[in-house]
Each structure stands twice: as C-alpha cells, then as structure tokens.
C-alpha cells in the first residue's frame, strides 16, 4: 500500500473547510473570488462543496488572504478533535 485512500473523517474535514470558505465568501461570486485568488472557478467550487478534501496549502492560503480570514482559525475549526 503506497498511499492509503482518504478516510471518511478526512473527507468530512474537507467539507467543514469548504463550508467555512463559502460562508466567508458571502455575496461575492465564485468567479470573482477565484480570479482574485488565482485559481479557476471550477476548482474553488469543488473546494467549497468539499469534493476536494485535502487542497494545497498555498491554495487555501491565497483564498484566506482574499477572503480576509485567518488560516489558523480555519485549521482549528476544521479539525474537531484538537487536543
């Protein structure tokens, strides 16, 4: 086994993250934010809907910057069991 598939919990974590990003976007359109963050609208939509469970760090960093939210907050709130 070279790389194990993502667990349901990891999928759920991705959904949580996407949900927070979608909330932070508010009224603005996907196209607008995606362009500002330097990514395609398709990709942003998939991240928001949780279909991309483990997006790249810089992808989320750029989004958080455009949306004006904290990466630390995103990480903490997306991981339920944080010691």
Partner DNA sequence: AACAATACCGGTATAAGTATCCCGGGGGTG
Partner DNA sequence: CACCCCCGGGATACTTATACCGGTATTGTT
Q: Which of 26, 57, 68, 81 binds its own copies (CB under 8 A)?
A: 57
Q: How far apart are CA 37 and CA 6, in angstroms?
A: 26
Q: Which of 65, 67, 68, 81 binds its own copies (CB under 8 A)?
A: 65
Residue 15 or 69 with smaller CB distance to DNA: 15
> With CB cut-offs between 5 and 8 Å by kind, which of its own copies, DNA, none does residue 40 bind?
DNA
Give the number of C-alpha atoms closer than 13 A to the C-alpha of residue 8, restricted to the C-beta side: 0
> With CB cut-offs between 5 and 8 Å by kind, which of DNA, its own copies, none does residue 20 bind?
none
Which of 27-35's residues contact partners 24+ apart within 8 Å by CB, and which partners? 33/63, 33/66, 33/67
Q: Is 83 helix (H, G, I), strand (E, B) or coil?
A: coil
Positions in the binding site for DNA (CB under 7 A)? 1-6, 14, 29-32, 39-43, 45-49, 51-56, 59
């Amino acid at each position: 086994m070279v790389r194990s598939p993502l667990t349901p919990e990891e999928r759920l974590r991705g959904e949580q993250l996407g949900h927070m990003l979608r909330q932070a976007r508010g009224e603005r359109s996907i196209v607008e934010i995606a362009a500002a963050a330097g990514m395609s609208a398709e990709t942003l939509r998939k991240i928001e809907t949780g279909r991309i469970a483990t997006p790249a760090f810089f992808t989320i960093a750029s989004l958080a910057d455009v949306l004006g939210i904290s990466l630390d907050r995103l990480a903490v709130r997306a991981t339920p069991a944080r010691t």
